[in-house]
Structures are given as structure tokens and as C-alpha cells.
Chain A
Amino acid sequence: MQTTLARNKSQLWSGGKSPFNVSYGKLMMWYFLMSDSFTFGAFLISYGSIRFSLNHWVDHNYVFNEFPFTEANLPLAFVSLMTFILIFSSVTMVLAVHEGHKMNQKGVEKWVALTILGGLAFLSCQAWEWTHLITGEHKVLVDGTIKYWGTTMSHNPWGPKVMFNGELVATPGPVAFGGYFFGITGFHGFHVFTGVIINTVMLIKTKLGHFQQRGHYEMIEKAGLYWHFVDLVWVFVFLCFYLI
């Protein structure tokens, strides 16, 4: 197998087998992920162009500076925790795929179960973050009066600051921020949720011994590709919303 693979690397396809040396299912998973990356890319690029078209955008270091169970000002802390959770669940997934190559059912079960836990932990973090943003109350000066707003799809209390009654108070910021933030992180969270469901199905099928009977764990590989893609998208969401 290895020698034929090596020889095929430099040769043109002559029919009779998969042109890319991967199965149909895996190839189509790659193409699905490519099309999905265009969806995410379109969202993020639209976010970028709106952000560049405005004189003022929010300062992410002040919007995302909270951490559960503490009042301290900790910019980037919570989102880095989420990033580490997702990177780690990516590692457990790739180890599950590896155990699948070795036809080790127990190993696959262990690592897929850990991946599911990682996904659920990430979703819980996101739920906390969203709740905190939506229900949080921030002082905003709206038409000469002080109001207390949360960050939602229609309210953005993170606009430029002005002097009011001898103190600096924020004014309403661009409404687009909430739409893009909740839209894109929500779409990503939906992917994580789907990934958790797919991995749960994979775990059940592994436990039932379906892949052992089939003679290969290719389904775990395909689920793994999807899961790594979710991690890959998070890398860019993390960049666009929390770092720059």
C-alpha cells in the first residue's frame, strides 16, 4: 500500500481507483468543509469591511474582560480558556482517529468521549459569555440621559466616551457589533453543537462495535475532519473578535 501510494504521488490519474487516494466520503467531507469555510469567510470578511467603514468600533479588551466568579478586570482571560479547551479537544479527536487506525476500540471510545466533554465545556463557556454580555448593565449616555444597556443585537453600550456630569460616560456604539458578534460566534457555536452530536453518534456506534465489524474506523476520521474544522474556524473567530 505504501509503495503504491508513493508511486502514485507523481503520476496522473489513470482511472480504476479514487483519483486522490481517499475514499469518496472523505473527499466529499473535505469539499463540504471548503464550502463551509467560504460561508465563515464571507461572514468574517463582511465583518471586516463594516468595521473598516466606521470611524469607531468597540474596544474588545473592555467588552470581554470578565471571568466567572470574579469581579477583576481580566482582558482575554476567559476567551483564552475557551481557546485552550477547543485546542485540547482537537488533540483528543486526532488521538481517537489514531486509535481507529490501530483498530483499538477502547482507545477510540476513550478519546471520542473526551472530545465530547471538551465540546460541551466550550459550549458551556460560550453560554456563560453570551448570558453575561446580554444581561450585563453598562452605563450609556443616550440622548442626554443615562441608561443601562447590555450588549445585544440592537444595543451596543461600547461607543466613544464623552464627559457628562464630570465623568467619562460611553455613548451608543455601532449596532453592527452585536449582530456580527452573536451571528458569527453563534454560527460557530452551532457548528460545535453539531460536532458534539456527530461525535456522540460516533461514540455510540463505536460502543456497539459497528466500526470493528466494518473493518475500519473511517467514520471517526470524517467526524475528526469536521471537528478540526470547527477548531480551525475558532482560530479565526478568536483573531477577528478578541485579538485585533
Chain B
Amino acid sequence: MSAVTTTHAIDSDHNKAHVKRIWKAFWVLLILTILELGLGLTIYNIDLNPNPSESLVLGLKGIICILTLAKAFYIISIFMHLGDEIRNLVMSLAIPALSFIWFIFAFIYDGNSFKNLRNTDAGSRKYIEKVQQHPVPAIKEGEKN
């Protein structure tokens, strides 16, 4: 069994290149995370405005999702060495994982549809956003519990 485990050459040139690649992946992950944090803080600051632009926030969130996928790719291919394995192994893992694409769309669509049905009593009325029009009646301090 040990014959199949030592698939990585042990000469020193390959060695140095490999360590270099690991650190490169680390810096890439670090930079992607910092970018995500920057975008997250941008969203926080946009939301501080009285009328935040929803499409801008949604776009930024989309960019964050793409950056996350890039991070996942780096972790799997460099840190977990899946990039060094043969293609059949990669495919036997990647093809089942592709079903996530369908799961994500289907379940989020379902959740959204459930919200619309509930908000409109299954389409029988228009959706009116509940905004607190009047302040809640004041209660005396003594009644606090």
C-alpha cells in the first residue's frame, strides 16, 4: 500500500516549489478573505444610509459569494492536494457535489415562494408591507417586568 502513497517526489527542487505553492495559496486565501471583509464593511456602511440601494448590496453579496467559491477552490486543490490526484478521482467527487447547484436554487426558490404565498394569502390579496405607523402606546416605568 505504501507504493501508492509516496506519489510526491522527494527531491529538493520539487520540495521548495511545493512549499512555495503552499504559502502562495495561504496569501491568496488571506487576500480573498480581506477583500470579503472589505465588501462586508462596505455593505454595513451602505446600510447605514436611510435609503440603501438594494441592488448594489445584492451585487456586492454576489461578489462575496464568488470570492468564497474561489477560496473553496484553493483549499480543495492546493491544501487538500485534489489538484494533484488523477481526474477520475476528482470527477467522482465533483459530479455528486454538482447537485448542490440544483439544491441551492430549488430550496431558495421554494423559501421565496413560501414567503410570497404567506404575504399574499396564497395570491388572494396584494402584499402590504407592515410598517409601524403609530408609536406603541407608552407604558409607565412601574409596569416593567
Contact = CB atoms under 8 A, between A and B. Distances in A.
Interface of A: 1-2, 5, 8-9, 13, 17-24, 26-27, 30-31, 34, 37, 41, 45-46, 48-55, 59, 61, 75-76, 80, 83-84, 87-88, 90-91, 93-95, 97-98, 101-102, 141, 144-147, 160, 162-166, 214-216, 218, 221, 224-225, 228-229, 231-232, 235-236, 238-239, 242-244
B9 A2 contact: yes
B142 to A, nearest CB: 11
Contact of B4 (A17, A75, A102, A164): A17
Given A101-B6, A145-B139, A235-B71, A48 B40 contact: no
Interface string B80-107: 1100011111001100110010011001
Contacts of B76: 228, 232
Contacts of B132: 160, 162-163
Interface residues of B, number: 72
B61 A144 contact: no
Contact of B137 (A98, A144, A242): A144
25 contacts: A5-B7, A20-B85, A21-B4, A21-B7, A22-B4, A30-B93, A41-B103, A49-B114, A52-B108, A53-B118, A55-B119, A61-B47, A87-B26, A87-B33, A90-B75, A91-B22, A102-B10, A144-B139, A163-B132, A165-B135, A165-B139, A214-B2, A218-B2, A232-B76, A236-B72
B143 to A, nearest CB: 7
A98 B111 CA distance: 45
B56 to A, nearest CB: 14
Contacts of B5: 22-23, 26, 216, 218, 221
B18 A98 contact: yes
A146 B144 contact: yes
Nearest to B143: A145
